[in-house]
Chain A
Amino acid sequence: MGDGNRGLSGNSNSNHSNNNKPEWLQQYDLIGKIGEGTYGLVFLARTKTPNNRGKAIAIKKFKQSKDGDGVSPTAIREIMLLREISHENVVRLVNVHINHTDMSLYLAFDYAEHDLYEIIRHHRDKVNHGINQYTIKTLLWQLLNGLNYLHSNWIIHRDLKPSNILVMGDVEEPGVVKIADFGLARIYQAPLKSLSENGVVVTIWYRAPELLLGAKHYTSAVDMWAVGCIFAELLTLKPLFQGAEVKATQNPFQLDQLDKIFKVLGHPTVEKWPTLSNLPHWHQDLQHIQGHKYDNTALYSVVHLSPKCPAYDLLSKMLEYDPRKRITAAQALEHEYFRMEPLPGRNALVPNSQGEKVVNYPTRPVDTTTDFEGTTSLQPSQPVSSGNAGSMSGAHVGINRSVPRPMLNMPRMQPQGLAAYNLASQAGMGGGMNPGGIPMQRGVAAQAHHQQQLRRKDTGMGMTGYPPQQKSRRF
C-alpha cells in the first residue's frame, strides 16, 4: 500500500520484455489493467506511433478458451460485428492483434474514460444531487441513436446495461456516448439457431419480460426494454428492477425479477399482451406468476415524474410489456421529450446552459501492477481471496490515489466544489446492491447483502465499462 514505485515497476517490467514481444505490441505503452472478466482482461495503453502519440487505447485480451477450442466464439462474434459497423455512438475497434506464441487475441478500442455505471455511482455515492436533465437527455438520445443504427442493421445488442454504455472523456469527443461490448450481440436476419439456444443473455435487471417468461425468438425490443431500465436508473440513480437472480439451472426461471417488474408496472394481462399466453413460463408456475395481482402502475412515483410529462411518456413506452407495442429506437428518437428544452447536445457531460454545475467524474482506476500477460508484478498487500473484499478495494483505491499518473490526470478539469460533495458522499448511497451485475468474483457473493462492503468493493472493481463482468450469466 502507498507504494509509489508500483506503477514504475509495472512499466519497467513491460519494457523489459519488449524485446521478446511482437512488433504490434511495441506500438503501445501499457499503462495498466482496467478490467477483468470471464473472457480475459482489459488494459489501458497509449499509442507510440508518431501520428497518434499518446492516444489512449483500451485493449481487451481474450484468453484461450479452457476447453481447448481456440478463439472463443464470443470473441469471434464481437470481431465480426465490430468489423462491419461504424457509428459515432458505437465503440470503435481500432485494431486486432494476435500473439501467436501464447495464442492470445487482443482487440484495441478507443478508450472511454467513463461509463454510465460509474457516472450513476458517482452521483449516488459521492455527489448529493441527481444527474442534470440535460445530461440524462443527451446520454439517452445518443444511446438511442447508436441503438437505432444497430437495429437498422439487424444487430441486437442483447446485453445493454449501464457498464456497457461508455462515455468518452478525451479531447476529441468529450461526453460522447459509445455502446460497447458486442460479445453477445448478433445479426438476427437469418439465425441458424433459435436465439435462446445460445444461452440466456442480458443481465437480469435489464432483461425484458418476454425473455424472463421464456420467449425463444426475441427481437430488438429486448434492447429497448434495457434502455427503459437505464433511463429510469439515470433519473433515480437506482436500478429500477433489482431482482435476486436464480443461478441454479441452465435456463432459470427468474420469478423474483418478474415480481419486481410486476410490482412497479402492474400485472401483465392477455388483453394488453395477446401473445403472453404463448410464453412457456407464463404457465409454468401459475400460482406465483399469475397469482399476485398488482393493479396499480406505480412507475411514475418510482421515478419521481409527473404522469403527464414527456419523459414519463417515453419511459412508459420503453417499458411496454408487449414487445410488439414497445417503442422502437427510431420512434423514441422522434419523441417529444427530445424536442423540448433542454435539447440534447453532443457533449453529455457539459451542459450548455449556464448555471448548471459541471460534475467532475472520476477517471477509471488503473491497476498499474499488471502487465499484458496478466502477471502482477507486485502483489497487493492483501492476498486475493474470499472474505476481504474491503481490503482488496482498499488496495486498488490506494493505487489509484498514490501512484502518479500524470497522463491520465492531465486533461481533467479542476474539480469545482467537489470537496463539498465529497463531504456529503457517505450519506445517500442507497441501493448499492451490485448494480449492473458487476462481479461477484473473488468470492464475495456471500456478502452481497452487505451493502457497505460491496460498495467499497465496487470502488475497486467496478471499473470496466468494457466487458460484462459476470462470471456465470453467459450460460
Chain B
Amino acid sequence: MASNFWTSSHYEQLLEQEEVDVVLPLDKEKGITLEDFKLIKMHMANYISKLAQQVKVRQRVVATAVTYMRRVYTRKTMSEYDPRLVAPTCLYLASKAEESTVQAKLLVFYIRKLYSDEKYRYEIKDILEMEMKILEALNYYLVIYHPYRSLSQLLQDAGLNEINMTQQTWGIVNDTYKMDLALVHPPHLIALACIYIASVLRDKDTTAWFEELRVDMNVVKNISMEILDFYENHKMHSEERFNAALSKLPARA
C-alpha cells in the first residue's frame, strides 16, 4: 500500500545489517573486501548526487536512486553490474518513478562532463539495457519511503522547526544515504536519529520529547551511533582508497 509504510513492500524488504554486509562470492574472488564494498557504494551515492545536481532533480529522487543502487547490490555482484553504470541508471529509473523523468541522453552528456575516465563512459543503449536489469533485480518493487516526509512534522512537533535546526537535520538525513541505513531501518526512525544528533550538536534538550514518543529509543540510538561513526571515519574514505577498491573490479566488456 502506498500510504501505509507498515504494509508497504519497502517495509517487507527491510533487511538485517548482517544481510546487507555480504560481499557476494564473485566479488570476493576479485579481492573486494567488506570495506571496499561499502566504500564503493558510498562513492556511487556521491556520484548519483553529483549527477542529480547537473540534471536538476530533487533530493527525493537522489534518495530513491541511492536506495535502488544499494538494494541491487544485496542481490547482484559489482563484477557483473558495474557500479559506474548502475549508479546513473538508478538515477534514471528513480527519475521516472518519482515523476521527474530525465532523458537518458542528458545523463550521458553530464556523465561525460563529470568524468573524463574511459571507465565511466557509457552510452544511452547501456543505460537502457541496465534499466531493465535493475528493474528485474529490484523485483519490480519501486516505491521507497524516505525520512524527509516525517522530518518537518517531527521537528514541528518537537518545537525545533527553526531554520538552522531544520537545515542541519536535513543535511544529516542526506548523509544517511552514504550508508546502508535505508535498507535496514524504517524511515521515521532514521529521521528521529537525525533529529537526535542535530539536537545534541545544537545543544537542544529533547529528552522529554523523545521520552513521550512511542518508539524504541534503543534503535534510534543505534542508528545515531552508526551515523556518528560514519562521520568519525569519514576522513579515511579517501579517493585513493576508493580508486584502489574500484580497480579490483573487472573492466567492462
Contact = CB atoms under 8 A, between A and B. Distances in A.
The 3 closest A-B pairs by CB, nearest first: A80-B142, A154-B3, A70-B128
B143 interface: yes
Given A192-B98, A193-B99, A70 B1 contact: no
Contacts of B252: none
B127 A70 contact: yes
Interface string A150-189: 0011110000000000000000000000000000001101
Interface stretch (B110-118, B129-137, B175-183, B211-219): B129-137
Contacts of A84: 1-2, 8-9, 143
B124 interface: yes
A441 B4 CA distance: 40
B149 A190 contact: yes
Interface string A420-459: 0000000000000000000000000000000000000000
A187 B83 CA distance: 30
B104 interface: yes
Contacts of A191: 99
Contacts, number: 92
A68 B60 CA distance: 25
Interface string A96-110: 101010010100000
Contacts of A153: 1-4
Interface in B67-119: 92-93, 96-101, 103-105
A348 B159 CA distance: 53
Contacts of B97: 76-77, 80
Given A98-B135, A192-B58, A68 B124 contact: yes
Nearest to B61: A192
Interface residues of A, number: 32
Contact of B142 (A83, A189, A192): A83
Interface in B127-159: 127-129, 131-133, 135-136, 140-143, 149
A83 B99 contact: no
A371 B101 CA distance: 32
Given A154-B2, A187-B2, A83 B140 contact: yes
Main secondary structure of the interface of B (DSSP, over half): helix
Contacts of A76: 93, 96-97, 142
A85 interface: yes
A81 interface: yes
A190 B61 CA distance: 12
A303 interface: no
A79 B140 contact: yes
A153 B8 CA distance: 10
A64 B131 CA distance: 12
30 contacts: A68-B124, A68-B128, A70-B104, A70-B127, A70-B132, A71-B132, A73-B96, A73-B99, A76-B97, A76-B142, A77-B99, A79-B142, A80-B97, A80-B140, A80-B143, A83-B9, A84-B1, A84-B8, A85-B1, A96-B135, A98-B135, A100-B129, A100-B133, A103-B132, A153-B3, A187-B2, A187-B3, A191-B99, A192-B60, A198-B99
Contacts of B105: 68
A341 interface: no
A152 B129 CA distance: 36
Interface of A: 64, 67-71, 73, 76-77, 79-81, 83-85, 96, 98, 100, 103, 105, 152-155, 186-187, 189-193, 198
A73 B131 CA distance: 12
B104 A98 contact: no
Contacts of A155: 2
A103 B142 CA distance: 19
Nearest to A195: B99
Contacts of B98: 192
Contacts of A96: 135, 140
Contacts of A80: 97, 140-143
B52 to A, nearest CB: 13
Contacts of A152: 3
Nearest to B4: A153
Interface in B197-229: none
Most interface-central of A73, A81, A84, A85 (chain B CB within 10 A): A84
A96 B135 CA distance: 10
Given A73-B101, A154-B2, A192-B99, 15 more contacts: A68-B128, A70-B127, A70-B128, A73-B99, A77-B97, A77-B99, A79-B140, A80-B140, A80-B141, A100-B132, A103-B132, A192-B58, A192-B60, A192-B98, A192-B100
Nearest to B146: A190
A367 B131 CA distance: 32
Contacts of A98: 132, 135-136
A67 B142 CA distance: 23
A187 B143 CA distance: 10
Nearest to B89: A70
Nearest to A190: B149
Interface in B47-77: 58, 60-61
A191 B3 CA distance: 13
